[in-house]
Amino acid sequence: MGYSEIDIKKRVAIMEVKKNPTKFKKLVKTIVYGAIAVLVLYIMANGLGLVDSLDFGAGAYYYADIPGFSKYVNGEHFKTQFPMWLHIVLFLLWGGLMYKLWTWLEKKLG
C-alpha cells in the first residue's frame, strides 16, 4: 500500500504531536489566550456591558460604583464593639494566610 507525499507528511505531523504533547498544549493555550485578549479588547472598545445611565468614567466596571452600595460598607450600618481597623487587619491577615496555604498546597501537589 503506497502513501502519497502529503499522507506521509500528515502522519509525521501527527506522530510529532503524539511524541511531544507539550508543544500542542502550548499552541492551544496560545490560541485560547489570544482569542480571550481579542474578545476583551472588543468588549472594552464597544463598551459592552455598560449601562449608559450609569457613567462612572474609568471606574464603570467596579462593583463599588453601584448606586447605593455605600450603605453596605459605611460605619453607621455596621455595629461592633471592635474598631473598623481591626476588622480590616484581620481580613488582610486571613488573606495572607490563605495565600500561604495555597502556595504550600501548590508545592506539595504540583
Map out the domains of the chain as residue ranges.
1-74, 80-110
pLDDT of residue 52: 67
pLDDT of residue 66: 66
What's the pTM value of the predicted model, to 2 decimals? Answer: 0.35
Q: Residue 110 is which amino acid?
A: G
CB 87 within 8 A of CB 81: no
pLDDT of residue 61: 56
Q: How confident is the prediction along the chain (110 residues), in pLDDT tens digits per residue?
A: 566 777 777 777 777 766 667 878 888 999 999 999 999 999 888 877 766 666 656 555 565 566 776 666 666 666 778 888 898 899 999 999 999 999 999 999 97
CB 76 within 8 A of CB 82: no
